[in-house]
Amino acid sequence: MIRIAQQVKEREVCREHKKAQKEGEVADMTRSFLVEEGKLEASRDLALLLLPKKLGPMPSEIEKAIRELNDLNRIQAIMAQFLEISNWQQLKQYLN
């Protein structure tokens, strides 16, 4: 009888451990998602701040395209070309 009670308790502890592990994984994924979203937003904001300083008033269609970009790598690639971009038309090519 004691052995059965121990096995039940062990299973319960195992279930609780698995549940805590899953909750931890979800928390880690949520944290990772929020970090990536923060990087994306910061990269967009940087592009929206710096490009007009270099090229003059930003056309609304380009502003809209930048605000709608959801690919961090793409925004970073565009900003990596910041010094080479000399006009809005050129930037448009990077956005398409």
**Which pLDDT belongs to residue 67?**
94
pLDDT exceeds cutoff 70 at 74: yes
More confident: 28 or 50: 50
pTM of the model: 0.68
**Which pLDDT belongs to residue 35?**
83
In DSSP notation, 16-66 reads HHHHHHHHHHHHHHHHHHHHHHHHHHHHHHHHHHHHHHHHSSPPHHHHHHH
> What does the pLDDT average to over 23-31?
75
> What count of Cα atoms within 13 Å lies in the side-chain half-sphere of residue 42?
6
What average pLDDT does the structure give for the chain?
A: 84
**75 in Cβ contact with 69 (< 8 Å):** yes
